[in-house]
Structure formats: C-alpha cells, structure tokens
Structure 1
Amino acid sequence: MTYIIIHALAPIFVIMLLGFWAGKVKMVDNQNVALLNIFVMDFALPAALFSATVQTPWRGIVAQSPLIVVLTLAMWITYGAIYFLATRVFKKSPQDAAVLTLTVALPNYAALGLPILGSVLGEGSATSLSVAVSIACGSVLMTPFCLLILEREKAQAAGENSGSTLAMLPVLMWRSVKKPIVWGPLLGVVLSALGIAMPDLLLAAIKPLGLAATAAALFLTGVILSARKLKINTAVMTSTVTKLLIQPAIAWGMVLLFGLHGSVAITTILMIALSAGFFGVVFGNRFGVQSPDAEAVLLLSSVLSILSLPLFISLTSGV
C-alpha cells in the first residue's frame, strides 16, 4: 500500500520539482508568472472541472449526497478553525489567512483522489464518480470562501469599500462567481441537473485543456516555490497536523454520527485524509498574495501523507 501511495505522489513531486528547477535556473521568470497563472486559473482548471461535473449524472450526484454532506462539513469546520487561528493567534493578514486556510481545508482531490481510492476500492465508474463529486464539492462549495476574502481585501486596498463587508457581499459574490474557476464546475453541475448533455465535439475540444490542468498547476506551484524560502514554524506545523490527522478525524466522527458504512464511509474518510491541495497557493498568486506558510504546508503534508494515508487506509478497512 505504501508503494501505491508513493506511486500516486511521485508525479506531484516530479512536476513540482521541474517547475522549481525551471524557476531557479531562470528558464521561467519566477517573479512574473501571470501568464502561466491565467492559463491555469482561467482555462485549464475550469475546463477540467467543467468536464468532470457536466459528465457526472445528476442521479449519481444525488446518490452521493452523504459523501457531499460529510466532505462539505469537514472542509467548512477546518476552514473556520484554521482561519480563526491564522488571524487571531498567528496574526496573519486576511489574504494570507485565506490562502493558508484553503490550502489546509481543501484536499488534493484532483491529483490524488483517483489513484488512492482506486487502489483501495478498485477502479471503476463508482470510484470515478466519487472523485468527480469530491472535486465538484470542493470547487463549488469551498473555493468561493477564499475568493470572497481575496476580493474583499483587493477592493479595500483600491478604496472601493464604501460600507461593511455585508453591504459589499453581493458585489464580492458576483466577482467571485464570474471567475471561470467557480462558474466552470457550477455550470457543469447545473447542466447535469437539467439533464442537458454536452456535444461530444465540445467535450473533445476542451479535453486537452483538462488533461493539462493538474500538470500545469503543479508546475506553476513549483515555479512559485522557487522564488520563496520555505520555513517551518508553529503555524505550518499546526496546519499540517490539522490537515493530515484532525480533519480526517472530524470526517470519521461524522461518518459515525450519520451511521455511514462500507464504501461510502471509506471514500469519505480517505478523500478528506488526502494531503493539502494546490488551489490556495495558485489562488494567492493570482491576487498577488504570497503565503510562505501555505506553500510549506503543501510540501510538508504531501511528504508526510506517505505515513498518514496508510494509517487511515488500515483503520478504515473495518468500517
């Protein structure tokens, strides 16, 4: 099982390392990655998320409602707790806290979901559906929180804050929703609910973008990391422990609370037990926000998940 996990993590480290090397030797300007960021955030990832959600049958999404509920609650609880700690205890700015929080709260469904879940439950349509639902759940129900905070702080810095955050909420929500990374998967969910099938030609046309999404995002993350000096501190250690141990424990408690069992319970716990995702770091870079702690958590949790994932895989074998 450890070999399977290392095999799943290997592409992440290799592609990030290539991006890191490209930035260090100045093959890529690691101080100016705006073009690569636009490609990832406005084209590749939205295309991948739209394809995943629009091709997910609505009945399948509804059938996965227990998974959606537990994943969402586990991510929201983690988001709230880490944001509170980041702003009140570690005294971070709201932007830095938002990036760190999204990194911790949103697992790396896109890169690790299918390899890990497939190795435990077997590859098949049910496994692919669970991963697709997890990705949609994270992108539609989690990323807007981070975007709202980043948009709010951007507006305040530009002198656009004419009232309270509550008064600005409609404008901030519109700015977040109109971003491709949000409306892409949301549109896919809506079309799936309406039973509208996309033409095969359209799906074939955007498929290369979707295939490039994860690799491009990981490469971009490596380039971003090449311009930073990573430091391990209390915030990084607290966030890493929360991601790898506390958040899966929260999900496990909810599985017991809701009386879930079998493949649904295993899927729920293992999806949350995945290492930190790269969305937070990429989002922050798009808004000009640097979060060294989020970058450190991304790397550290990926490495340590080699130990934590086998633990949860073994523990869930009897669920």
Structure 2
Amino acid sequence: MTDAILLALAPIFFVLLLGYGAGRYQIVDNHKVDSLNALVMNFALPASLFAATASASRSEMVAQAPLFALFGIVMLAIFFVWYLGSKLILKEAPANASLQALTLAFPNLAGVGLPIMSAVVGPSGGIPLAIALASGSILVSPLSLIIVEMSLNPGSAGAETPAVRILRSIWHALTKPVVLAPALGILISLAGLKTDAVLDACLLLIGHAAPGVALFLTGLILSSQAFRLDWRIVRATVVADIVRPLLAAAIVFSLPIPHETARVVVLLAAIPSGFFGILFAVNYRQDSGAAGSMVTASTVFSIVTMAIVIALLFPS
C-alpha cells in the first residue's frame, strides 16, 4: 500500500517542483506563461478529453452516468457554498470569488487524477476519470466562466440588455475548447459512432502532454507568487481536502449505486484543488495569488488525506 501511494504521489510532486524550480531560478520566465497556458487549455487538455470520451463505447458511457451526475452535484455544491460565502461575507469581487470557487470545487483531475487512478484503480480508471473531467468541464467550468465574463465584460453602458449580456457570456464560456471537447466526445459515444484510429492517435499524442505540462505550468505560476497562509487558505484547504470527499461519501454511500462507482467518486473527490482557477485567472488577467496558495496548501495536505482515502477504500 505504501508503494502504491508513493507511486501515485511522487511523480505529481516531482513535476510540480520541476516547474517551480524552473521558474524560481529563471530557467523559464514565470511571468510570461500565456503560451504554455494556451497549449494546455486550448490544445492538449481538450484533445485528451475528446479522445477519452469519444473512444468509450455507448454502454461504457451510459454506465458512467451516475458518476457524472454525482460528481457534478458534489462540485456544484462546493462551488456555490464558497462563491456565495466569498461574495456575501468576505466581499470578494464576483470574478475572484468565482475563480476561487472553481479552484476548490474542481479537483486537479488532469494532473493528479491520472497517475492516482492508474496506480490505484488500474487501466480501467481512465474512463471514469475522463467522465469526471467532462463533468467538471461541462458543469462547473462554464458556470465560473459565465460569472467572470459577466463581471469583466459588461459591454458598453446601455448598449446591451441584461439578457443579451447573459447570452453573450454563456456563448463565450461554452465555446471554450476545454468545454466543447468533452461534450462533443460524449455525444459521439452516445450516438454509437466510432472515431478513426488515425485521429485517435493524433489526438492522444498531444493529449498525453496535458497532465505533465499542466503540473509543470502550475508549479511555474506558483513560483512567481508569494505563498500566503491565512485563515482563508486554511478554510479552503479544509473544504477541498476534507469536506469535499466527506460530502461525496455521504452522498454516494447513501444511494443504491454500485460499490465500485461509489469508491471511485470518493477517491476522485479526495484529489486536491485544481489548476483551472489559476489558468483562467492568468487568461483573464485576474489575481491568481489566492488560487495559487489554495492549490499549494491543498496539494501538500492531500498527501495525508489521499493516503487515508486510498487505505480505507482500496486496501488491496
């Protein structure tokens, strides 16, 4: 068990530290990350998501419907609680509150989830991981982006009605490659269509770069920021690493769903805070410092929480 946990966690922290060191020692410019950000969010990750979902059979996709729904419910619950608390109590700007909520609600499935699922669940873990990623990309990411778009791009004064602004924000959010790719892949799978083997090979070649580059980029961005440890970061770490998996466990183990699905949902919910909030903050020229500190604290603390979840739910 110790070897399995070490095998799952060591590569993650190695690549994170590699990116952090590259930025700290100015081997890579940690203030000019737009190109790497575009590589991950517009090419590598969408390709990986599309290939994983489109290649699944219709029966496999239908079997993962409970995971899609339950994981989506957990993420949306965490998102709304943190967003409303930050906006109403802490008086955060809507854009920052939304990006922080996305950071906590959407685990680092692309960077941390892939090696964890491979080491703990095995080769069969690829499909539920892709479905969980699709759930977050289709449900939570667009919601966060809509809030950011509406708060940062209000349009010319009086030029747009509220309805037009909402529709424009929804359109901008839903046409992001990271949202379109998994949605299209799921539709292809449910329609019973098959993607060409050559296309799959092409997409997987760039898609395989997503986890490593995303982790490297996260470390690179974190190296440009001062780590802030305050009560907000502590609360965020507790929400991401303790409340999220406990909420998932309370939901899945109270419902008549397959035990294996329930275990996978809890394991995925125990993965630390994701980097989407950081990358979107960079993309929209927002403060990524708070989200970066949340990811750092959550990732370090998750060494303990993920080890406990793996030991309890996957003892052999």
Same fold (TM over 0.5): yes
Match of 1:286 among 268, 274, 283: 283
Cα distance 1:167–1:157, how it changes in 2: closer, same or farther (>3 A)? closer
Does the CA-based 8 Å contact 2:53-2:189 persist in structure 1?
yes
Q: Distance in 2 between matches of 1:269 and 1:234?
A: 26
1:38-57 alignment, distance < 5 Å: 38-57=38-57
> What is the aligned partner in structure 2 of residue 195 from structure 1?
192
Q: Distance in 2 between matches of 1:24 and 1:272?
A: 31
1:19-58 alignment, distance < 5 Å: 19-58=19-58
Q: Distance in 2 between matches of 1:157 and 1:30?
A: 32
| 1:143 counterpart letter in structure 2 | S
Does the CA-based 8 Å contact 1:147-1:176 persist in structure 2?
yes
Q: Distance in 2 between matches of 1:68 and 1:178?
A: 21
Match of 2:292 among 289, 295, 303: 295
Q: Displacement, 1:32?
A: 2.1
How many residue pairs align between the two structures? 315
| 1:133 counterpart letter in structure 2 | I
Q: Displacement, 1:130?
A: 1.6
Cα distance 1:217–1:161, how it changes in 2: closer, same or farther (>3 A)? farther
Cα distance 1:27–1:91, how it changes in 2: closer, same or farther (>3 A)? same
Q: Distance in 2 between matches of 1:30 and 1:158?
A: 34
| CA deviation profile, 1:139-198 (whole Å, cap 9, x unmatched) | 12221111112211231277687333x542211111112111111111111111222211
> What is the aligned partner in structure 1 of residue 88 from structure 2?
88
Tell me the secondary structure at the aligned position of residue 156 of structure 1: coil
Q: Distance in 2 between matches of 1:160 and 1:18?
A: 49
1:60-79 alignment, distance < 5 Å: 60-79=60-79
Q: Displacement, 1:43?
A: 1.0
Match of 2:241 among 241, 244, 248: 244
Cα distance 1:115–1:23, how it changes in 2: closer, same or farther (>3 A)? closer
1:137-148 alignment, distance < 5 Å: 137-148=135-146
Tell me the secondary structure at the aligned position of residue 257 of structure 1: coil
Q: Displacement, 1:78?
A: 0.3
Cα distance 1:193–1:16, how it changes in 2: closer, same or farther (>3 A)? same
Tell me the secondary structure at the aligned position of residue 27 of structure 2: coil
Q: Distance in 2 between matches of 1:5 and 1:149?
A: 37
| 1:139 counterpart letter in structure 2 | S
Please, which runs of 5 or more residues in structure 1 have no aligned partner? Answer: none
The alignment's TM-score, normalised by the length of structure 2, stands at: 0.92
The alignment's TM-score, normalised by the length of structure 1, stands at: 0.91
Q: Distance in 2 between matches of 1:221 and 1:161?
A: 38
> What is the aligned partner in structure 2 of residue 209 from structure 1?
206
- Bigger mean CA deviation after superposition, 155-164 or 170-179: 155-164
> What is the aligned partner in structure 1 of residue 168 from structure 2?
171
Does the CA-based 8 Å contact 2:114-2:129 persist in structure 1?
yes
| 1:186 counterpart letter in structure 2 | A
The answer to whether structure 1 residue 128 and structure 2 residue 153 are counterparts is no
Does the CA-based 8 Å contact 2:8-2:119 persist in structure 1?
no
Tell me the secondary structure at the aligned position of residue 142 of structure 1: helix
Cα distance 1:62–1:267, how it changes in 2: closer, same or farther (>3 A)? same
Does the CA-based 8 Å contact 1:4-1:116 persist in structure 2?
no
Does the CA-based 8 Å contact 2:67-2:265 persist in structure 1?
yes
The answer to whether structure 1 residue 227 and structure 2 residue 224 are counterparts is yes
| CA deviation profile, 1:40-83 (whole Å, cap 9, x unmatched) | 11111111111111112222121122222210111000000011
Please, which runs of 5 or more residues in structure 2 have no aligned partner? Answer: none
Does the CA-based 8 Å contact 1:56-1:132 persist in structure 2?
no
> What is the aligned partner in structure 1 of residue 113 from structure 2?
113
Does the CA-based 8 Å contact 1:6-1:306 persist in structure 2?
no
Q: Distance in 1 between matches of 2:268 and 2:150?
A: 30
Q: Distance in 2 between matches of 1:277 and 1:259?
A: 29
Identity score, percent: 34
The answer to whether structure 1 residue 183 and structure 2 residue 175 are counterparts is no
Does the CA-based 8 Å contact 2:61-2:189 persist in structure 1?
no
> What is the aligned partner in structure 2 of residue 97 from structure 1?
97
| CA deviation profile, 1:212-244 (whole Å, cap 9, x unmatched) | 111111222122112211101111111110111
